[in-house]
Structure 1
Amino acid sequence: MTGRIEARLVELGVSLPDAPAPAANYVPQVTVGDLVFVSGQVSMADGAFITGKLGADMDVAAGAQAARTCAISLLAQVRKACDGDLDRLVRVVKLTGFVNSTPDFGDQPKVVNGASDFLVEVLGDAGRHSRSAVSAASLPFGVAVEVEGIFQIRP
């Protein structure tokens, strides 16, 4: 039986990938009480990194799309932390978005909106969250965006 969140993803034409494996010496998510802390998820599509630097070779719309892919990976990690039952997700608590951008680029919030807007589209009010959107001189693998998150779940 498909849960309500998975059904909503299907309505939106989104298929969650398997939770991405960590790229270094860390774990992809840690559960403490009713909170799941998800490590930074990098922008990927079809198994390939979405690379670029905002303000140089990537525009805000493309950056927002890259951030959306990060949010999809965040949900995949939450699903894994919830033993496959995404309906245990209560709410998104906080996102931190890192945007690979030039020193003069100032639209990091518009880029990270790609992740925020997607989570609200999927989860409604439970997707509304606190957030930081910051510039980074570079990100792993040259990706355009990396987003980490904190999520509240039901035990």
Structure 2
Amino acid sequence: MRRSPVVLLPLLLAACGGSGSNITISDSEGNVAIVTDAEGRTRVKAPGVGISAKLPQFKIDAKDFDVSGMKLYPGTTIRDINITADTARNVTGSDRDHVQLSFDAPAPLATVQAWYRDAMAKRGFKVTASGNGLAGTTDEGEPITLQLDANGADKSRGSLRIGA
């Protein structure tokens, strides 16, 4: 069963304030946006509504996030999370919901690449190599793209996108 990224909204707002991560939740039309920055300031913007508040600080890391049962590389820290809900889905029949996160992993590029390749295979994902990362589908048929780059000798940076 397909779950809209908007379902994650309460969890993210409760857990993400001041995480050191930037979190953005929006609809595909740009009408509604919820943004939480690294200092815990949360802004809600919708037609006729503008709210700003400071939330308690919590840290989000690899153990707090999973994709169809697959966790992030151990020790990973999340820099940014962007969630977009497709508000035009009922009109167009397309489904463009997606979640995208940017992260830092505490290991060399080759180690992180191999770890994700094996972790995705164990979860039944169908992926192939794509540049330094992987692309394909999750075990539920959701599009998934992983982009990785070296960030010095012993660190990696990545971006993971789930959905269209």
Same fold (TM over 0.5): no
Normalised to the residue count of structure 1, the TM-score between the two structures is: 0.32
Higher-strand-fraction structure: 2
**Structure ranking higher in helix proportion:** 1
Question: So what's the TM-score if we normalise by structure 2?
Answer: 0.31
